[in-house]
Amino acid sequence: MALPDFSMRQLLEAGIHFGHQTHRWNPKMAPYIYGARNNIHIIDLSQTVPLLHQA
């Protein structure tokens, strides 16, 4: 099953980049976390988009 086409802008507008609260995170996800804002981790979409296209 193929994923639909999407862009980084569409993912941002959908809020895909918002992760878990900073105190409830899995350390294995550290390479994929861009940063934190208001105690919420921000997911690095520059890594996420290519990996989704590979899936």
What are the sequence ranges of the domains in the chain?
8-54
Whole-number pLDDT of residue 3: 62
Report in angstroms the alpha-carbon separations of 33 from 9, 16, 21, 22, 23: 18, 12, 12, 10, 13
In whole angstroms, what is the distance from residue 22 CA to residue 36 CA?
7
pLDDT digits (tens, 9 = 90+) for 1-54: 566 777 888 888 888 888 888 888 889 999 999 999 999 999 898 888 888 777
Give the amino acid at 12. L
Whole-number pLDDT of residue 2: 64
The b/e string for 25-51 (b: 16+ C-beta within 10 A; e otherwise) is eeeeeeeebeeeeeeebebebeebeee
Whole-number pLDDT of residue 49: 82
